[in-house]
């Protein structure tokens, strides 16, 4: 039987083994500190942080934590992903290594600044 979709990030995290939960909590706290005004949501079944639009998503898998700062976040930081598997919209952080919290913070703040700029442009248009 399939597990019910989580209604919030706490429920999402609770579905994983203790070691993975620890990494998910670290990811969540890091993002919260980077963008304290952002709202937590579940989107596409994954934890996400939203300001005007979604800033970043994250999710746990068998061997990694996926971090999804979308295309703009990946493009701006791809030179720093040499130790990780990454694609156009995502980067994978292995479960057996510490999360790069400084990198996650910088990407999240970059995405927040981008969103604010976009919102400002719309307002002035």
pLDDT of 2 reads 54
- Which sequence spans correspond to the domains of the chain? 9-117
The answer to whether residues 62 and 23 touch, using CB atoms and an 8 Å cutoff, is no
pLDDT higher for 1 or 83? Answer: 83
* Residues 55-111 pLDDT 10s: 999 999 999 999 999 999 999 999 999 999 999 999 999 999 999 999 999 999 999
Rounded to an integer, what distance in angstroms lies between the CA atom of residue 41 and that of residue 38?
Answer: 10
Measuring CA to CA, which residue among 2, 15, 83, 88 is closest to residue 46? 15
Model pLDDT, residue 1: 45
* Helix residue spans in the chain (DSSP H): 9-14, 18-34, 70-77, 101-124
Q: Which is it for strands 85-86 and 64-68: parallel, antiparallel or unpaired? A: unpaired
Task: Label residue 117 by pLDDT band (50, 70, 90).
Answer: confident
Q: What is the tens place of the pLDDT at every residue in 30-40?
A: 999 999 999 99
| Cα distance between residue 16 and residue 60, in whole Å | 8
Asked if CATH classification 3.90.1150.200 holds for the domain at 9-117, the reply, yes or no, is yes
Q: Which residues contact 110 (CB under 8 A, 6 or more apart)?
A: 69, 73, 76, 77
């Amino acid at each position: 039987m399939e597990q019910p979709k989580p209604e919030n990030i706490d429920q999402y995290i609770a579905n994983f083994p203790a070691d993975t939960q620890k990494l998910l909590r670290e990811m969540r706290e890091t993002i919260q500190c980077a963008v304290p005004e952002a709202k937590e949501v579940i989107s596409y079944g994954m934890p996400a942080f939203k300001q005007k639009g979604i800033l970043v998503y994250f999710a746990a898998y068998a061997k990694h934590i996926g971090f999804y700062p979308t295309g703009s976040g990946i493009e701006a930081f791809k030179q720093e992903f040499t130790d990780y598997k990454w694609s156009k919209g995502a980067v994978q952080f292995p479960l057996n290594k510490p999360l790069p919290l400084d990198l996650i913070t910088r990407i999240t703040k970059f995405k927040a600044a981008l969103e604010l700029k976009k919102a400002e442009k719309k307002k002035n248009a």
